[in-house]
Amino acid sequence: MNSTDIVHDLIEKISIEILHFIRKHELTSQDRWVSAAFIKTTLHLNFVAVPKNNKQYGQKGWFFAIIARLLEDRGLLEYKKTDGKAYYRTIH
């Protein structure tokens, strides 16, 4: 397996684990919508995304956003925004 295959395999594993996490927390969420903030905070998915020498604006949720989009593109996750807050739920 080459480096590209290994990295994409790890991304796939992360995606599926996050999907399982969301599905688990849908049971206690209104209309199954799980807050993106809850997901990112609980799984510690906020990271600083710029080199140390650049201006830091704090941790951001870019990593989760990428994973969520990959799951959306595969038809496994849906997204909604309400009052400026993002929510996700699985598609059965």
pLDDT value of residue 43 = 97
pLDDT value of residue 54 = 78
Region 53-78 average pLDDT: 90
Nearest 10 degrees: Cα torsion 80, 85, 90, 92:
-40
Give the tens place of pLDDT for each residue, 28-47.
999 999 999 999 999 999 88
Does residue 74 register a pLDDT over 90? yes
Q: Do 61 and 69 contact (CB within 8 A), yes or no?
A: no
Q: Give the model's confidence band at 12: pLDDT under 50 very low, under 70 low, under 90 confident, else very high.
A: very high
Does residue 76 register a pLDDT over 90? yes
Q: Which two tokens stand for residue 30?
A: 């209104």
CATH architecture of 3-90: Orthogonal Bundle (1.10)
Element (H, E) at 2: none
Average pLDDT of the chain, as a whole number: 93
Give the closest residue to 35 by CA, choosing from 70, 69, 83, 72. Answer: 83
Q: Which two tokens stand for residue 65?
A: 């956003």
